[in-house]
Homo-oligomer: A and B are copies of this chain.
Amino acid sequence: MSNRLGAQTVTFSKEPRILSSYTIVGPMEGKGPHALDFDEILPDDVLNQKTPEKSERLILEMAIEKTLSKNNTKLDDVQFLIAGDLLNQIISSTFAATTYAAPFLGVYGACSTFAQAMGLGAALLQGDFASQVLVGTASHYQTAERQFRYPIELNIQHQVTNHHTVTGAGAALLGFADQGPRITHATFGAVVDMGLKDPNDMGSAMAPAAFATIKQHLQDTELNLDAYDMVLTGDLGKQGRKMLRLLLEKEGIQGLDRLQDGGSKIYGDGQKTGAGGSGAACIAVMTLGYALNKLKSAKARRVLIVATGALLSSLTVAQGESIPCIAHAIVLEA
């Protein structure tokens, strides 16, 4: 276990790096305060596709395509494609994978999927199983809304604690190079279920999972939060973010000024998006857009990404079950 550090953290001494990446968001995210952080803002979220599921798949394919071409990498040189999304049977990822026929690992961790995939990709590089790994996640407001909530045509009023699913995709090519942001650690979370049952307040359900993973990460690495220039959680939203801060404060953890939340930041205050953004694309575009720009422009040297996921399904909600949650963390260094 020489690549291990404590109970839940693994280390990547061979310094796998993000060779290239590409972020795409929908028009709504393109009107938010982070518009300039993203590579591409779509003029509309339909893209001439017959269904929003086809649009979601297409956006993921576009992100993968651009990520490969930015690094002049051919698909044949990629040993794994790791992808996941929110849809039943992760169809956006599996259908996109028919186009990019690399060995495919489908993963699911709801909105935490991106960090799980990145950590796993870095592990396959560190473990000498691959020289290049492609990672991608996507989500779409329309597909998620009708799968998890109500048909969009009903125009159901959202609550202030509701998240708004981000339309977008993020892809990254991981490998070895002389420069570029490194992935140095991953802390894989355990599932945490505090018994919360309100699917309209996933932030509160996810905060304890973020807390557990952060606490374990700090214990495993013997660091405090101020070892990081930014700790970017996602997608806790406005309520969950507060709850996480309270939990960390109560635990006596220092450096809370480093905390930012991707879901809370992706939309502007006037955008009527409830608690903030969510979806498998949210932390992906905020990491590969916002956080990577900070690292590249030397505004940050070391960033902790803590992606959170609510592992509910429409059926478990209907059956009155609580909402199990998870958070996976990765460390990015300039």
Write the A18-29 contact mask toward B (1 if CB under 8 angstroms, else 0).
000000000000
Return A123 CB to nearest CB of chain B, in Å: 6
Cβ-neighbour of A108 out of B50, B90, B120, B191 (below 8 A): B90
Residues of B within 8 A of A315 (CB): 53, 87-88, 91, 147
| Beta-carbon nearest neighbor of A87 in chain B | B313
**Total identical chains:** 2
Task: Tell whether A79 is near chain B: CB-to-CB under 8 Å.
Answer: yes
Which residues in window 154-192 of A have CB below 8 A to B?
188-192
Query: Do A312 and B89 touch across chains, with their CB atoms under 8 A apart?
Result: yes
A126 to B129, CA, bound (A): 10
Return A16 CB to nearest CB of chain B, in Å: 12
* A interface residues, tally (CB under 8 Å): 59
Write the A101-118 contact mask toward B (1 if CB under 8 angstroms, else 0).
111111111100000100
Task: Tell whether A225 is near chain B: CB-to-CB under 8 Å.
Answer: no
Query: Do A89 and B88 touch across chains, with their CB atoms under 8 A apart?
Result: yes
Query: Do A127 and B126 touch across chains, with their CB atoms under 8 A apart?
Result: yes
Which residues in window 74-112 of A have CB below 8 A to B?
79-80, 84, 86-91, 94-95, 97-98, 101-110
Task: Tell whether A293 is near chain B: CB-to-CB under 8 Å.
Answer: no
| Beta-carbon nearest neighbor of A188 in chain B | B103
Task: Tell whether A4 is near chain B: CB-to-CB under 8 Å.
Answer: yes
A326 to B89, CA, bound (A): 13
Residues of B within 8 A of A275 (CB): none
Cβ-neighbour of A104 out of B10, B103, B189, B316 (below 8 A): B189
**Subset of 30 A-B contacts with CB under 8 Å:** A1-B128, A1-B129, A4-B79, A4-B128, A8-B103, A53-B315, A53-B316, A53-B319, A87-B313, A88-B89, A88-B313, A89-B312, A89-B316, A91-B312, A95-B311, A95-B324, A97-B191, A97-B324, A98-B191, A101-B190, A103-B190, A104-B190, A104-B191, A104-B326, A105-B109, A105-B120, A106-B108, A106-B311, A107-B108, A127-B129
